[in-house]
Amino acid sequence: MKKTMLKVVVYAVMVAALGWMAGGRTHLFAAAGGPVEIKIDNYSFTPGDITVAAGTTVTWVNRDDVPHTVRNNDGTLKSKALDTDDKFSMTFDKPGTYEYFCSIHPKMTAKVVVK
């Protein structure tokens, strides 16, 4: 149990360091389980690229006057069309890089990196 906790802390520090080094695009960090919210506004995901620990639940909320979706190519992310103020949540248990986009406005792209 203690080992697991230590692992989480080490990961969190590593993730934070990586994020700090990456700079440029918006990054957000969360400890495992701490929920993260991504706002969809002005045809973009904010924050855009994020890095989270495995087990984190990410919620997208649409603040635009037009519908958007959160989808990826392999179907692991597949929201229905989100109308204004609609939300979509996903818990990321498996580490990996999840690139996603709005299938209605495909210029809108971002990714969730799960460590």
Partner 1 sequence: MSDFIKDNLNSDGVDRRGFLKCMAWAGTGTFCLIQGGVLKSFALSDIANRGLAAAKGELSFVQLSDSHIGFDKAANPDVTATLDAAIAKVNALETPPEFVLHTGDLSHLSKPSEFDTLDQRLKSMRTDKIFYVPGEHDVLNDDGAQYRERYGKGTKGDGWYSFDQKGVHFIGLVNVMNLKAGGLGNLGKDQLEFVEDDVKHLKSSTPIVVFAHIPLWSVYPEWGWGTDDGAQALGYLKRFGSVSVLNGHIHQIMQKVEGNVTFHTAMSTAFPQPQPGTAPSPGPMKVPADKLRALLGVTDVNFVRGKNTLAVVDSTLA
Q: In the complex, which residues of this chain contact partner 1 (CB under 8 A)?
A: 42-44, 64-67, 69, 72-73, 80-81, 83-84, 99-101, 103-107, 109
CB of 44 to partner 1, least distance (A): 7
Instruction: Give the count of alpha carbons within 13 A of 55, CB side only.
Output: 9
CB of 106 to partner 1, least distance (A): 4
**Biggest alpha carbon–alpha carbon distance for the chain:** 47
Of 7 and 80, nearer to partner 1 (C-beta) is 80
Of 105 and 115, nearer to partner 1 (C-beta) is 105
| Phi and psi based region of residue 104 (left: phi greater than 0; alpha: psi -120 to 50; beta: remaining) | alpha
Q: Integer distance in angstroms from the first to the last C-alpha of the chain?
A: 19
CB of 52 to partner 1, least distance (A): 20
